[in-house]
Amino acid sequence: MIEHQEITSFAIYPSIGVARVGNSPDAYYFGPEHPGAEREKGGYRDASGRIKRQAARFRVYGLDARGQVVQEITADDARITWKVEIANKKAAWFDFDQALDIPESQTLASTLRNANVKGPERASLAITPAPASISGKNINAQGDDASRAFNGRFVNKSVYLGELRTDEKGRLVFLGGRGEAASFDGQPATTFANNIGWHDDTSDGPVDATIEYGGKTYEAKGAWVIVGPPDYAPGVQGIVTGWDLLFQVATEMDPARIPQRPKFSEHIYPLLQRLTQTQWVNAGFARDFGFGTLSDFTDPALVARLNDPSDASRALRCRILDSFRNASYAHPQPAAIPAYYGDSMTGDTTKAGPREWMAVLPTQYRWLEQWAEGHFEADGPPAAPRPWNSLSAAEQVQGIDRAVLDEVLGGPFHPGAEFTWPMRNKILYEEPLRIKRRAAPAPDWGPQLISSIALGPGGPLDGSTPGDITRWMATPWQTDTSSCLSAYVPYVDDYLPTFWPARVPNDVLDEAQYDTLMKSTSESEKQRVFAFERRVKWLRGIRYPMDPTFPPKIYPSKEAINKFIREWAIVGIVEAKPGPGGLFPREIWVETGRQIEHDQPKATALAPIWSSED
């Protein structure tokens, strides 16, 4: 037990929690809560092969008079009453055209989605369930308490957005929607982001807690929950993660957070290692950074050289720095790292500006510069994570925030996976990582939204209400996920650039290839090598032919996105499995659970390789 005088206030962690939709009616799993902790193997589908929802778990911590974290507070220590309010406002918001905070958007004016719905009737486009509360241990464990569910309406249809539960310690367990998307008039989807009449069941909103402790009642510092699409490659991190992005914003709000010297284990190795890890979801990264290449950033001999601050490794460090795209975006650098499309990607490389491609963040680029000069702490690759119970309370909350956001993408934002460009603007936050609440009702922004209004004081970023984070995203999310591919212009590269392979894979090893690779030595070595080197398209049968073609053809967008709306839950999930070692990796990431039949979108002709709709 804690001495009462030690605790003077309370805060909820994670500051931003992330849940994900899934079509399993009952089963769910928790996303990472501890950086580096081992993930549950094979835990993403239920016994019937349906995708589990990812739950977001929230905890209360007590703080002392200096604001220092003392200890987690559970239902054993206090009465905790949780309150959550979420919404989905996508259909009532503005079109996504392009990120409004980049120079290329200064003359852009985004118009209203569903502009044909006017006046008071526009309120029916926003799904706004009543807030829900919960308190106690193991409450609503089966999910059958209607009072803990979020049920709203879209036009004349009931829409379920999620529910509240608690665990054995009274922590909040939040579950989002089940991946349902539909249009109120039955019309098919036609584009990647702004489909008239459509809704989905993602959402976001504030998380609050009232704590009765030591004879007093307190209001905890609040958090936020965001519900995103499934993670189709759990454990594969983006080159820029959500944590990287929000740490960048935190340094803009509080420059004292910037370390004087980067640590190899924390600031350099993870960035390089992600290039190699992406080999499991994109064939171009496998070719350039994969197992056995000269740029395999998990190779112990190479890592030892990279961790050497002496002049002996200086040329290598500088060469790697020079390969990264400069975060200043002074001019286009199409051949630089990372080979990702950017925020203003158009597909027309003859007219491309710098943001046709994504750069690492300014903090990341500065750390690479210091590393190249030898000004870094050579502490080696990250050590194995310490057990949760051995961490101090302060280490626990820092770890929770980072673990959650490292599994979220920090770019590119066209519009993105879980959230988009507003999250990189400090006006959105009341303090680092804490989303600012809007005190008064938002004004009517009119029929168009321009950059200066969106970014200015009092604008839509200056304080948030339920649904305000996800409203900037594509509606429904399935059309964007199935449109963001790789190598739209294959004469530039067969596999690169790409968009979000860490969440939406491009090229994968299937289970048949894995079985061949893992067979006994009687299997031809040549066959095993071929099985390992070959990749198949993750969206085969939806965006690509079932049988490999080269260069790969792309099915017409409209047919493909509607097929993915129907079949998003039966595509494969890329998971880590044991490898054979020796000439092959000891860990191999394999597409699992795919259930798509060998049919194709109904189409009479193939679309051009590049389509402006994507």
Q: For residue 53, what is the enclosing H or E element?
A: strand 53-63
- Per-residue pLDDT band for 609 (boundaries 50, 70, 90) equals very low
Q: How far apart are CA 593 and CA 112, in angstroms?
A: 39
Model pLDDT, residue 490: 74
* Residues in Cβ contact with 351 at an 8 Å cutoff, skipping those fewer than 6 apart: none
Residue 332 burial (CB < 10 Å; 0-12/13-18/19+)? Answer: middle
**Residue 470 · residue 202 · CB < 8 Å:** yes
Q: What is residue 524's predicted lDDT score, i.e. its pLDDT? A: 84
Of the pLDDT bands very low, low, confident and very high (cuts 50, 70, 90), residue 43 is: confident
pLDDT at 243 over 80: yes
Strands (E), 214-348: 216-219, 223-228
Q: Read off the pLDDT band of 348 (50, 70, 90).
A: low
Burial class of 154 by CB neighbour count within 10 A (0 to 12, 13 to 18, 19+) = buried
CA 91 distance to own-chain centroid: 21
* DSSP code for 540: B
pLDDT 10s digits, 200-218: 999 999 999 999 999 999 9
Q: 28-30 and 53-63 as β-strands: parallel, antiparallel, unpaired?
A: parallel
Q: What is the rounded average pLDDT of the residues 298-314?
A: 98
Mean pLDDT calculated for residue range 171-187:
96
pLDDT level of residue 599 (50, 70, 90 thresholds): low
pLDDT at 587: 96
What ranges make up the beta strands (E) of 272-318?
none
3-state DSSP of 442-496: CCCCCCEEEHHHHHCCCCCCCCECCCCCHHHCCECHHHHHCCCCECCCCCCCCCC
Say if residue 65 is exposed, middle or buried (CB neighbours under 10 Å; 0-12, 13-18, 19+).
exposed
DSSP tag of 541 = T
Q: What is the pLDDT of residue 542?
A: 93
Contact yes or no for 481/538 (Cβ under 8 A): no
| Segment 372-386, tens digit of pLDDT | 999 999 999 999 999
Q: Token digits for 222?
A: 């609040």
Binning pLDDT at 50, 70 and 90, where does residue 606 land?
A: very low
Written as six digits, the tokens of 240 are: 């820029």
Mean pLDDT calculated for residue range 254-277: 97
The predicted structure's pLDDT at residue 402: 97
Q: Which of 495, 509, 574, 507 is nearest to 539 (CA)?
A: 507
pLDDT for the residue 106: 93
Distance from C-alpha of 273 to C-alpha of 438, rounded to nearest angstrom: 39
pLDDT reported for residue 79:
98
Q: Which of the four pLDDT bands, split at 50, 70 and 90, describes residue 546?
A: confident
- Token duo for residue 336: 């630089």
Other CB atoms within a 10 A radius of the CB of residue 85 amount to 21
Closest by CA to 363, choosing from 250, 272, 273, is 250
Q: What is the pLDDT of residues 219-230, one digit of tens each?
A: 999 999 999 999
Mean pLDDT of the chain: 93
User: Over 60: is that where the pLDDT of 33 sits?
Assistant: yes
Mean pLDDT computed over 421-445:
96
CA 254 to chain centre: 24
Give tens-digit pLDDT for 89-98.
Answer: 999 999 999 9
- The set of residues, in sequence order, having a beta carbon less than 8 Å from that of 328 and lying 6+ positions away, is 362
| Terminal-residue alpha carbon distance, the chain | 56
How deeply is 466 buried, as exposed, middle or buried, from its count of CB atoms within 10 A (0-12, 13-18, 19+)?
buried
Q: How far is CA 224 from the centre of its chain?
A: 15
Pairwise CA distance, residues 16 & 435, whole Å: 8
Q: How confident is the model at residue 520 (pLDDT cuts 50, 70, 90)?
A: low
Secondary structure of 394-453 in HEC code, one letter for each residue:
HHHHHHHHHHHHHCCECCCCCCCCCCCHHHHCHHHEEECCEECECCCCCCCCCCEEEHHH
Inform me whether the pLDDT recorded for 610 exceeds 50.
no
Return d(Cα 50, Cα 28) in angstroms, integer: 10
Q: Is the pTM of this model over 0.75?
A: yes
pLDDT at 611: 31
> Radius of gyration of the chain from Cα atoms?
24
Cβ atoms 412, 499 nearer than 8 A:
yes
Q: What is the pLDDT of residues 351-365, one digit of tens each?
A: 678 999 999 999 999
Please name the residues in contact with 566: beta carbons below 8 A apart, sequence gap of 6 or more. none
Statement: residue 5 has pLDDT above 70: no
Contact partners, residue 474, CB within 8 Å, separation at least 6 = 90, 96, 192, 193, 194, 415, 480
Percent residues over pLDDT 70 in the chain:
93
Kindly provide the b/e burial profile for residues 566-600, where b requires at least 16 CB atoms within 10 angstroms of the residue's own CB.
ebbbebbbbbbbebbeeebbeebbbbbbbeeeeeb
Instruction: Quote the pLDDT of residue 492.
Output: 74
Q: What pLDDT sits at residue 555? A: 79
* Residue 342 tokens, joined: 């950017």
pLDDT at residue 604, as a whole number: 30
pLDDT digits (tens, 9 = 90+) for 127-152: 999 999 999 999 999 999 999 999 99
Between 157 and 440, the higher pLDDT residue? 157
